[in-house]
Structure 1
Amino acid sequence: MADGDAARAIRLGLLLLTELVTPMHEWLDGQRMYFRAQGYTEPEARAMAAATYVAVFGNPIHAPPNGRPQADES
């Protein structure tokens, strides 16, 4: 039964982490859309949103190793 308890603890921990991270992704996407509406190009809007995120939360955003975002460029 200890294995089941450990798996449950891990599952609950991952669910909690998802709940904590998802709002930040939504906030960052909202910032990107805000800058797009202000007339910035998509790369500029992404950069402005990232700069705002770092200024507000103090956490740097690291680019993937190839320097290109993995998400769609909508």
Structure 2
Amino acid sequence: MDKIRFYKETIYENIDYEALKEQVDSQRLDEIIDIMLECICSSEYSAPVEHPRPAKLNSTVAENEQHHRSSCTLIS
């Protein structure tokens, strides 16, 4: 059995394909499964990409952390 067929059958079993295709558009479901197969069977190496947080988000996180610390101090 080739790799793609093996993973396709595994995906079908894991998502209960027969039951799911009655609930959603089967063409759309097949497209999603094809994308999953491309990702799983791809031989290209891919590394996770970390995106830096925008400056505004950094300041908001810092403000929330400071507020949390002061709230905990008041409760203690």
With structure 2 as the length reference, what TM-score do the two structures score?
0.34
Work out which structure has the larger RCO, using CA pairs closer than 8 Å and 6 or more positions apart in sequence. Answer: 2
Q: TM-score, normalised by structure 1?
A: 0.35
| Structure label with greater radius of gyration | 2
